[in-house]
Amino acid sequence: MSSKSIVKEHLIKHKWQYVFGVILLSISCLFQLLIPTFLEQFADRVQDSTLTSADLIKLLINIIIVGFIIAFFRSCSRIYIFRLSRILEKRVRRRLFTHWVKLPSQYYHKHRIGDLMSHAINDVNVIREVAMGGVFLSIEVVILITVAVIAMGMTINAWLTLLVILPLPGLTFLAYKFRFQIQERSTKVQEAIGHLTSTVQEFCAGIRVIKAYGQEKDERKKFELKNQHNVYTNRQLIQTNSLFNSVSIAIVGLSYLLSIFFGGMLVMNNTITLGEFVAFNTYLSLLIAPVENLGKVMNILQRGWASNKRLRTILNTEPEIKDAQDVTATSVDGQITIRNLSFAYPDTEELVLKNINLNIPKGSSLAIVGKVGSGKTTLLHLLMRVYNPPKSTIFIDGYDLYQIPLKTLRQSIGIVPQENFLFSSTIADNIAFDPANYNERQITNAAKLAQVYDNIIDFPNKFETALGERGISLSGGQRQRISIARSLIKKANILIFDDSLSAVDAVTEEKILQGLREQMINRTTIIVSHRISTIKDADQIIVLDEGEIVEHGTHDTLIKKNGIYQQMYEKQALKQASPLGTLSIKTKRR
């Protein structure tokens, strides 16, 4: 993994803008050097009893003018540098989200939503703070300390300056000693925020289950533990930073002590004047803010290092699912061939699918039945390259699946998954989710085919009804039918229904299948279902058991085999309560 700093890349990219910001800040710092000079003149004239009212007014005016100049250039440099940090923040978030879009779905199975949110919000904010306060304060520390020490040594007394700055290198040693502790505790703070965010997200997503099981008290305890851990990690970081700052101030205080003692002796020996002594200590006071800010800079930089490492880990994660270099197919018609397909999920050795061989002609229908965990959904995921199948095992229109661009493949497939995810936008937006532009008539027709139109028009805002999180304001059957409408509007050459009628009753199922009949003409259709009534008229039916095809044929031939399929059919025939029966999905070819 590359450890290159995100902020460093930003500084290099905008180096000339930062140079201009440094110039503005340098002007502000240089004008601060005039204040000790004014005070030196004031003290000397007071000592010599030569100070007049005109001199006092002139001094006051000069200090006010210089103060305005310092404030003006410091504000300009601050605004300029902070604006550049906001550019970095926007770019990093865009880059992070763009990279997340490229990553396969299994990446999100391994990472909690709260952690991802922590990366997108907290880690990016820390990186921004490095480019904002970290850069600004670092520049100010370097400039002020440098010019103040030079002015003290060249204009007042070099030996006194050397003596006073002797304790300051201790700050470097101190920063080195605290470096790893601050890094470690900053990482723990970011992780604690991720855990806390995940807890809140899971609570919101599972609120119905929590209330149904009366688990509110336990959820409060769980949240309190995460919240307390978050407070504890932040307290540890604060303690470390406070200790670092306190020792830093003590070192500066030692410099002041040396200045007062030895500087006072030089004044008494007439080696330096009273005005020079005042100016020297004023210069020294200019070092207080930079030295105090050194602790802030140290904290910001170490937190930034931890966040940079976390973000770099994500940005350097290579997507496992991506286009091969030899993609050749430009379209997908729908003829599917599977040869000797065996598959195990990444990081496991157990085969989920074993020696699958199938031929699905264009425009025909395949039905898949089997027990839970038999590999039905896995087979569909491999067809869509949600996971990478072994090479030379799945072919579409004669092309190896790897020779088909991912965009072309997925635009050619309309799928209704088991989990009917709906976005918290309007019903119309959910149905027309495909990148293509659909008009109101097309959206309405898709809703009618999915037998959800009557439900939609009963809502006060009809198709403009805003759904809750994950479509939680709808029933399971309504969500399922909106997902079907989203698939049908796509006009894809391959249709996949993954147990997509499980939440509707037999009468509604009959109506949906009747509407689907015309839609399935000349489209390759794959249907996973536990209901025999849904799939009995498919062109071919396979029964999966423990990842293997144990039965293969039509409804009639499988009934005669007296195997798993025939047993499923008899059990469902006994339970069937609809007096009208069901309408199956017999497809036609033109």
Q: End-to-end CA distance of the chain, in Å?
A: 55
| Tokens coding 182 | 């601050």
Find all residues with CB under 8 Å of 584, minimum gap 6, and list them: 513, 533, 534, 535, 536, 537
357-404 residue pLDDT tens: 989 898 888 888 888 888 888 888 888 888 888 888 989 888 888 888
Report the percentage of the chain scoring pLDDT > 90: 1
Q: What is the mean pLDDT of the chain?
A: 79
pLDDT of residue 295: 65
2-17 residue pLDDT tens: 457 888 888 888 888 8
pLDDT of residue 577: 47
**DSSP character for 158?**
H
Q: Which fold has domain 323-412+535-590?
A: Rossmann fold (3.40.50)
306-362 residue pLDDT tens: 788 888 888 888 877 777 777 777 778 888 898 998 888 877 778 888 888 989 898
Binned at pLDDT 50, 70 and 90, residue 179 comes out as: low
Q: Is the pLDDT of residue 506 over 80?
A: no
Top-confidence residue, 204 or 227: 227
**DSSP character for 426?**
B
Binned at pLDDT 50, 70 and 90, residue 586 comes out as: very low
**Rounded-to-integer distance, Cα 522 and Cα 590, Å:** 7
259-272 residue pLDDT tens: 888 888 888 888 88
Q: 3-state SS of 22-42?
A: HHHHHHHHHHHCHHHHHHHHH
424-463 residue pLDDT tens: 778 888 888 776 678 888 888 888 887 888 888 888 888 8
453-499 residue pLDDT tens: 888 888 888 888 877 655 556 777 778 888 888 888 877 888 888 87
**Rounded-to-integer distance, Cα 283 and Cα 160, Å:** 13
Mean per-residue pLDDT, 121-134: 82
pLDDT of residue 584: 47
239-262 residue pLDDT tens: 877 777 777 777 777 877 888 888
**Rounded-to-integer distance, Cα 348 and Cα 401, Å:** 23
Closest among 172, 186, 379 to 291, alpha carbons compared:
172
Mean per-residue pLDDT, 90-118: 79
Question: What single-letter amino acid sits at 57?
Answer: I
Mean per-residue pLDDT, 58-81: 88
**Rounded-to-integer distance, Cα 443 and Cα 141, Å:** 62
**CA angle, residues 563, 358, 417, in degrees to nearest 5:** 85
Domain 6-315 belongs in CATH node 1.10.3720.10: no
pLDDT of residue 545: 86
Q: Is the pLDDT of residue 26 over 80?
A: yes
Report the percentage of the chain scoring pLDDT > 70: 89
Find all residues with CB under 8 Å of 266, minimum gap 6, and list them: 157, 160, 272, 277
pLDDT of residue 502: 67
**CA angle, residues 475, 477, 478, in degrees to nearest 5:** 65
pLDDT of residue 204: 67
536-572 residue pLDDT tens: 878 898 888 888 888 888 888 888 888 888 888 888 7
**Rounded-to-integer distance, Cα 68 and Cα 72, Å:** 6
Closest among 282, 246, 242, 283 to 146, alpha carbons compared:
283
Domain layout of the chain by residue ranges: 6-315, 323-412+535-590
Mean per-residue pLDDT, 104-120: 74
Q: Is the pLDDT of residue 588 over 70?
A: no
